[in-house]
Amino acid sequence: MIAGLLGLLVGSFLNVVIVRLPRMLEARWQRDAKALLAETEPSLDRAIPGAVQQEPTYHLAWPASHCVTCRTPIRPQHNVPLVSWLWLRGRCAHCQAPISVRYPLVEGLGAASAALAIGYFGANLTGVAAALLSFVLIAATLIDFATLLLPDELTLPLLWAGLLVNLQARFAPLEAAVIGAVAGYLVLWLVYQGFKMLTGKEGMGYGDFKLLSALGAWFGWPMLPAILVLASGVGAVVGLALILSGRQARDVPIPFGPYLAGAGFTVLYFGDSLSQTLGRFA
């Protein structure tokens, strides 16, 4: 019960991360690009007003939560996870604009993930670590779906966290975790390079390499085949279904991160069973 309530609060914060982190990254890239442009082409600094003007500070803690339509700050009583969305019937209290169902969905997923992790692993460091892994995978999934980005701010801390939790072999022996981190990155990098040599196109992003590397750090190299088979299989089926239904054009990229994240979440609870099943076909 307590784990679920805390998960609701974390889910509310995940909504902030999902919305703001890509915007923060875009603002930073724009600032860097403008600064580089001003250094390499000083004349453009005078020709383009505000070429190197700093963007307003924007991060996870500021500004306060507000309606994305009317920009009105959200009152505390309207910012209670899950309850407020139901109470307001999915609409802004000020302008009545619809509020995406994603917000209560993420909050509910946060609560369910925390309750499942603590219920399965216990109220200990392993359970807390499993819950934190689940939270990051939720955020990474929705950001990748929306933007085709897997930010380093999520994947790299997740990788180091996996190695740290396995100092005591909570999910895998440390040696297997280290090899898993290296192999996870390398295997997708090789696929990427091979696809690029054959087609001249980039088949996936570097964020996918880093996410699989992080999962290798959490679960060890023996779980990488199960993660790859599950992610590739589900991704191929869903992608083909979307193309055949006309909801996805053939030349539009399909994010792979969500399927890696889903496979990682599955391995967290069913890894041994999946490995045994794959072993029968090997």
Instruction: Report in angstroms the alpha-carbon separations of 60 from 14, 19, 70, 76.
Output: 10, 9, 20, 17
pLDDT tens sequence across 176-208: 999 999 999 999 999 999 988 988 888 788 999
Residues 148-156 have a mean pLDDT of: 95
Q: How confident is the model at residue 91 (pLDDT cuts 50, 70, 90)?
A: confident
Give me the sign of the Cα torsion angle 202, 203, 207, 213.
negative
Amino acid at 94: H
Q: What is the DSSP letter of 89?
A: T
The per-residue pLDDT for 233 is 93
Query: What's the angle, vertex CA 102, arms to CA 96 and CA 103, rounded to 5?
Result: 70
Residues 183 and 229 sit within 8 Å (Cβ to Cβ)? no
Q: How confident is the model at residue 73 (pLDDT cuts 50, 70, 90)?
A: confident
pLDDT tens sequence across 256-269: 999 999 999 999 99
Residues 111 and 8 sit within 8 Å (Cβ to Cβ)? yes
- CA-CA distance, 140 to 153, in Å (whole number)? 10
The answer, as to whether pTM is greater than 0.85, is yes
For residue 59, the SS3 value is: strand
Residue 56 has pLDDT above 70, yes or no: no
- CA-CA distance, 79 to 70, in Å (whole number)? 16
- CA-CA distance, 15 to 108, in Å (whole number)? 11
pLDDT tens sequence across 215-244: 999 999 999 999 999 999 999 999 888 888
